[in-house]
Structure 1
Amino acid sequence: MISAGDFHTLVALRAKEGEVRAVEAVQEDRGVQPLLQYEVPKKSLDGQVENIERIARKFHALGRLIMVDASALAAAPTFGGEQLGGLGSLADRLSAAQWLDQFQDQIPFVPVASLDLAVNQLTWIGRLCAELGAGGALRVGRAVGTGEVESIVDALKLAPPDIDLIIDVGYLEYFTPQIAEAVSAALDALRTVGSFRSMTLLSGSVPSILDETALWERPRFEEVLWRAVVDGGGKDVRFGDYGVVHPGATRSFRSHHVNVKYTCQDHWLLGRERMADSKAQAKTLGIVCRNLIESDSFSGPEFSWGDREIVSAASDGGTGNSLKSKPVAIGTSHHLAYLASLNAA
């Protein structure tokens, strides 16, 4: 089993079907650390718990533990109290059990704490970290003070060497050297708290809404920022992003377009086309995919499962192309392979 904290890049993923399908296509561990995020459910939390369980089991089979953040559920009465919340339910589903006459050990994961949580919730997460035995992660913004971090560490009752520190900048609409300087200063201050198991800079530059059509490029500001911080002396800072989705909460609405977000070395390649009608998703996805493979940025069908699906969809082949989750699935699959290629470099 790969030790917790032993990773090169990190990706924050939602517990939705597109992301799950992309993860299930992964064949080997390549140093990419998944951080699964709960969202406030419209009704039941069961679907998200089930999806995160599937991802936890998948990566555990590959030798890696996932991180799980349930901070979005902080206002729900079931989180961190006597009743089970997102983390508690997941831990129970992954606990030791008798299954098909074979004893299955507990599958651990790394719980994530944040500034949004009350002291009693942090204490509960700390106890869960001790029970699972894989340490914990702490997710904070760039404006956090060292005193706040010290208080959280105390509440968790974990030593910094057992904590993965994540500096979450959120959405980056643009990059300036001043942003890099501010992040670097925040990281320098947090190093005085202790020697954390890892330090990751997390951000994302995918807009909440795309307003163009056909094929166009957009700079990957998250990667530009990270490289500036590393070049400025932060050699120990690891790269993290939000996959192919916007970092913040987005409102759900019926879209008349199909889009695929394709990760490239220094830019996003964004493909988007309007559907002729509500039943034309598969056909429209085929148009978007044909545009992608005809571009100079396409990595080829051997790069990932998602890239093979792009080739299939471009010739009106493949399965599940009418599913709303398919564009996210193929984009996320390619993105995971891209992050692994960063590790290799």
Structure 2
Amino acid sequence: MKMASAKKKKQAMAKKKLVARKKVMLKNKLALKKKIEFQKKLAFKKKLELQKKLAFKKKLELQKKLAFKKKLELKKKLELKKKLELKKKLELKKKLELKKKLELKKKLAQIKALKKQKELDKRSALAERKRSQKEKQREAQRLAKERAKLKAQQMAERLALKVAKEMQHLEEKQAREAVKAAKIAAREAVRLAEIEANRKPVAPPKPPIIKGVMQDGITPTKEFNIEFLISQRELLTVERRNLLGQADHLESEANAIVENSEMGDVQFDDEGGEGDTMVVERERGLTLSASARQTVEEIDEALKRLETGDYGYSARSGLPIPRERLKAIPWTTELVVERAGGIGSY
């Protein structure tokens, strides 16, 4: 019995504990449920607050957009107003410019008309001046022709006087020359007589020239080696070139004098000096030119003698000419004593 009661007590205690546990569990469930509901309420509250905030934010953004839109519209209106004002200003400016252009065009037309009138006046004045100038020129030409005729007559008279004087001088000169020629002929006759009286014996034969082998167009000899002869050929060539240039220059000057005299550049005066001077100058130039060409011919002969081996020897006696004389006058063919009438002058 005791065991049964104890068992019952235990069962009752277990039952109580179970009930108490169930109560605790139910209590916990209720607390949890309340907590969940509270959390849900908080979440809903937060959601509402968030929605309110979002709605307020949207409202603010909408207000901003509306304000910005109004601002843009106002700006557009202002810009349109400015454009209209600018357009009006431009139209007004164009009208003013057009007005100015028309006024300027009128002024230019007036200026052109004035210029045209001035040009016409100027042309008429110029034509009048030209006519007067032509008349003056004709008068001047007529006077110049008259003066030229008078001058030509005077020139003809002067030339006639000059020719008469020249003829007189020529006759006197011919008479003097005849007397002089007679005197010269007499002297020559006396000289020939003296030469005939003092005739010298026949010249001895020329000594033979010992020649070497030709080198570079030059034949050396015993007395004159190849180096000396080459230097002499160079001297002869340079001198020949210079003399030819002088001869050409003198001839051209003489020809120029003739051309100038033919063109009428020579003026004769009462004293009659310039024409004679030019003739003398021309004759002098031609004489000097002929002398230069004669020397050129002598140089050519000397160059030939260089080839044949006869250069440097006297043409009279056949003796060698001193080198100093050959250097001074490379084309010479005489010794100094021969030229002076000493040895070898037969």
TM-score norm. by structure 2 comes to: 0.18
Larger Rg: 2
Q: Judging by fraction of residues, say which structure has more helix.
A: 2
Q: Which has the higher contact order (CA 8 A, sep 6+)?
A: 1
Q: Judging by fraction of residues, say which structure has more strand.
A: 1
